[in-house]
Amino acid sequence: MTIRPREQTENNKRQPMEDSSKISDIQQHRLKTVYEHLEISDDARKRLIQPKQTVQVSIPVRMDDGSLRIFDGWRVQYDDTRGPSKGGIRFHEDVTIEEVTALSFWMTIKCSVVDLPFGGAKGGICVDPKTLSRLELERLSRGYVRAIYDFIGPDRDIPAPDVNTNATIMGWMADEYGQIARRQVPAVITGKPLGLGGSQGRVAATGRGALQVLDIWAKRSEKSPQDLTVAVQGFGNAGYHFARLAHEAGYKIVAVSDSKGAIYSRDGLNPEPVWNHKHKTRELKGMVYCDASVCDEADFTELTNEELLELDVDVLVLAALENAVTKKNAEGIRSALILEIANGPVSPEADSILADRDIEILPDVLVNSGGVIVSYLEWVQNRSGDYWSEEIVETRLAQRLEREANACFQLAEDENVSMRIAAYMQGIGRIAEAIDHRETQKYFNGQSN
C-alpha cells in the first residue's frame, strides 16, 4: 500500500458524479475517489470490487391467522481477508440485495478503519416488522437463522442488530443457532441480551463512540462543548444515546427529530425526557417539555425533518437512514460540521457541494464504529467466558477509538484530504496490505521477493 504523492491527485479535486439514491453508486464512487490518493495492488482492487459471497433465501412463516407468507432475505459477506465477516441484520420493507451488498462493503471498511480482526457483512429481510405480532416476528427471526445457518458462525460470519432489530431478536437468533448446533454458541451473534451472553455497554455504544469522535474533533479544533449547538436528525437508539451523552457533556442539543417530525428549542433540550415522552406517546409532535434549569414553561417550535436539516447550528447529526442529504438539499445546510451516525447519510454529490462550502464531515465509517467495536468485545467475552463490567467495556471502546480516530485526523491533515478520504485510506490500506501478504501478481511473476 502506497499513498500517492499529492501532485498526482489533481490538487485533491473531488470528482463529481450524478447524484443517485443507489447505495452501490455511492460505494463505487467512494472507491474511485480513494484510489486517486492511495496506490494499491491490482489484486486488492479486484478483490474489493465485489462481495465474496451472497446468499438469498426465502423464509416461510406461518402467520397467526393460519396463512403462510414467504419473506425474502439476504446475507452478503463482502470480504474476510482480515478475519470472519461481521455485520448487522436489518428488517425493513425497502431492503434490497443492492442495499445489503453496499452496506456489507461499508462494514468491511469500518472494521478495518478501527483495526478490528473482522471483515464485513450485512443481512436483511424485506418486511415491515411493525405489521407482525411478536410471535410472527420470532418465527421470522428463527426462520432466517435456519436459512443461513450453514453460512454463519463465530469463525466465519457474526451477525448483529441493525435497523428494526434489537437484543431480543438477536437472542432468538442465537438460541435458534444453538438449537440446530445442539450446543451453546453465544459468539455466533452479538448485540444479545445480557442474560444470553450480551455485553455491558452495547446498547449505547454507537452513540457513545460518535460522541467521542466529536469530542476529539472539538479538542483538535480548540472548541468547547458548551459553545456548540447540535441538531439531531434521527431519534432512534443511536441518536438518543448520542444526544443524551452529549447533553451530559455540555453540548447544547437544540433539536431532535424522528420519522414523524421534529422539535426545536433555542434554549436547548434535555434528550432523556424527550425520549421517555416519545416512548409513551410514540411521537415527538406536540410534546410539552421543559428543562427546569433553562425555563419555566415549554418553549418549542415544531419543525419538519427538512427544516431541521437547515437549522443554523454548529453540528448537524445525521442518525436516520441513507441519503438524508443529497444535491437537492445540500445548499440549504447551514451547520459548520456534519456528524454521520447513520450509514451513507450524505451522497457523493452532496459531499462535493458541502466541501465547496467548507462544511466539514466526520464520516460514518469512523463515527458509528462504536457499535461494532463493542460487538467485537462481546465476541471476545463469549469466546473466553470472561465477562467484563460496563466500565471496562467503555474504557476499551474509548482507548481504541482514541487511537484510530486520531490516526484518521492526522492522516487527513498530513495528506490534505477530507476526513472521509482519510478514513477510507486507513481502512482500505489495511485490507490491501493483508491481501498483498498473500502475495500478488508481481511475486508470482518473479518481479518481487
268-272: long-range contacts, CB 8 A cutoff, minimum separation 24? 268/294, 271/232, 271/235, 271/240, 271/243, 271/244, 271/247, 272/244, 272/247
What are the backbone angles phi and psi of residue 367, rounded to the nearest 5°? -65, -40
Half-sphere exposure (Cβ direction) of 120: Cα atoms closer than 13 Å? 26
Question: Does residue 283 contact residue 258 with C-beta atoms inside 8 Å?
Answer: yes
Which of 22, 32, 86, 122 is an active site residue? 122
Output b/e per residue, 368-396; b: 16+ Cβ within 10 A. bbbbbbbbbbbbebbeeeeebeeeebbeb
For residue 399, what are the contacts with CB-CB under 8 A and spacing of at least 6? none
Q: How far is CA 314 from CA 11, 236, 321, 339, in A?
A: 28, 21, 21, 11
What is d(CA 53, CA 47) in angstroms, rounded to the nearest whole number?
12
What is d(CA 73, CA 91) in angstroms, rounded to the nearest whole number?
9
122 is catalytic: yes
Question: Does residue 340 contact residue 364 with C-beta atoms inside 8 Å?
Answer: yes
What is d(CA 178, CA 185) in angstroms, rounded to the nearest whole number?
6
> If we measure between CA atoms, which residue out of 315, 240, 328 comes closest to residue 278?
240
Question: Does residue 238 contact residue 207 with C-beta atoms inside 8 Å?
Answer: yes
What is d(CA 257, CA 262) in angstroms, rounded to the nearest whole number?
4
Chain position carrying cell 479535486 = 13
Chain position carrying cell 469512523 = 366
List the catalytic residues. 122
